[in-house]
Amino acid sequence: MNTSTELALVTNANAARQGIGAFNVVLLEHAEAIVAGAESAGKPVILQISQNAARYHGALEPIATASLAIARAAGVPAIVHLDHAEDLELVYSAVELGVQSVMFDGSTLDYEENVATTRKVVEFCHAHGVFVEAELGEVGGKDGVHAPGARSHPDEVAAFVSATGVDALAVAVGTSHAMTTRVATVDRELIKELAESAGVPLVLHGSSGLSDDELLGAVRSGMTKINISTHLNGLFTSAARLALNADASLIDPRRYIAPARAAMATEVDRLLCMLAP
C-alpha cells in the first residue's frame, strides 16, 4: 500500500465525516487482534508501532515485520504505521522495512527546527511512497500539548501544513495521553476550525480518554484518524487477568493470552463500526 492508497482511504473517510481507527501494536497478539476486529467489522484499520514499542522489542524490525505480514494477509485494507518517531534513523529504517506510514514527532524541537526536520522527513518519505503524519507543539509528551487545557491554533496549523507538506496533522483539542478513564471532552468547535484551516486530515491522539459520544462528536466535527491504545490495553490485560485468576494452574501463556486477544478484537470491531457506520 503506497501513499496514494492510504491518502485515498484517509481523504475519503474525512470527506464522509467518518473515522479510521489507529490502534497500537505492543505484542504480536495485538496485531492479530486488530486485524481480526477489522475483518469482523469489514473496515480498514491502521496498526501503529510506537518508538517505545520498538525499543521494548530491541529494534523495530521484529515487531514491524510481524505486523506487516499480518496486515498483508488481512481481508481488509490494513496499514502499518510508525508512531511518535523522534529518531530520523528509525524513520529511515521503517521505510526500508516497508512500513506505509510514519508519524514524525518533532514536539521537543523549536518551531523552525520542527518545520525543517518535518519537511526533510516528508521529502524522504514521499520519495518512497510513504504517508507522513506530523504534529505541531508538544503532542508527543504524555501531558504536553495534549493536556486537557491545551489547544492548537488554526493559523499556526495552516502555516505548519503549508511549510512542511505533511499528509495529516495531530492537533490538541482537549485529550490527554494514557488516560485510563473515559472522562475527557473535546472542543468540537475548534476541531471544525482546525479541519478547515489545515486542509489535511486531522489526527486525534489520546482518544482512550473519550467516551463513545465524545469520539463520535470529534469525528463528526472533522477528526479522521483516531488513535486508541490505553483503552484496548486495559481490556487486553483485564481479560488475561480474569483467565489467570480463574485457574491458578495455568502456565501455558496461550491459555490466558488467547482470551485477551479475543477481547481486544471484539472492541476493535465495535470501535471501527462506531467510527465509520
Query: How do residues 245-269 score in pLDDT, each as one tens digit?
Result: 999 999 999 999 999 999 999 999 9
> What CA–CA distance (Å, rounded) separates 165 from 36?
34
Q: 131 pLDDT band (50/70/90 cuts)?
A: very high
205 is in an annotated binding site: yes
* Spatial CB neighbours of 144, under 8 Å, sequence gap ≥ 6: 107, 137, 138, 150
The crossing angle, in degrees rounded to 10, of helices 111-127 and 154-164 is: 40
CA neighbours closer than 13 Å in the CB half-sphere of residue 124: 19
Phi first, then psi, for residue 98 (nearest 5°) are: 110, 10
Q: 145 pLDDT band (50/70/90 cuts)?
A: very low
84 is in an annotated binding site: yes
32 is in an annotated binding site: no
> What CA–CA distance (Å, rounded) separates 66 from 77?
16
Q: 137 pLDDT band (50/70/90 cuts)?
A: low
- Residues 165-217: tens digit of each pLDDT: 999 999 887 655 555 555 466 778 888 889 899 999 999 987 777 888 888 98
**Comparing C-alpha atoms, which of 263, 231, 201 is closest to residue 16?**
201
Chain-wide mean pLDDT for the chain?
A: 88
83 is catalytic: yes
Phi first, then psi, for residue 211 (nearest 5°) are: -70, 170
**Comparing C-alpha atoms, which of 172, 164, 220, 166 is closest to residue 194?**
172
Inter-residue long-range contacts of 60-66, CB under 8 Å, 24+ positions, other chains counted:
60/90, 60/93, 60/94, 60/97, 61/93, 61/97, 63/25, 63/28, 63/31, 64/94, 64/97, 64/98, 64/99, 65/97, 66/28, 66/31
126 is in an annotated binding site: no
> What CA–CA distance (Å, rounded) separates 274 from 213?
10
Mean pLDDT to the nearest integer, 142-166: 74
Report the share of the chain in percent with pLDDT over 70: 88
Instruction: Write down the catalytic residue from 83, 167, 187, 269.
Output: 83
The confidence score (pLDDT) of residue 2 equals 52
The confidence score (pLDDT) of residue 178 equals 52
pTM score of the predicted model: 0.91
Q: 146 pLDDT band (50/70/90 cuts)?
A: very low
146 is in an annotated binding site: no
The confidence score (pLDDT) of residue 209 equals 73
Query: Cell numbers of 238, please?
Result: 483485564
Q: 3-275 in CATH: which number?
A: 3.20.20.70
Q: 139 pLDDT band (50/70/90 cuts)?
A: very low
Q: Lowest-confidence range among 44-58, 107-121, 138-152, 231-245?
A: 138-152
> What CA–CA distance (Å, rounded) separates 33 from 111?
38
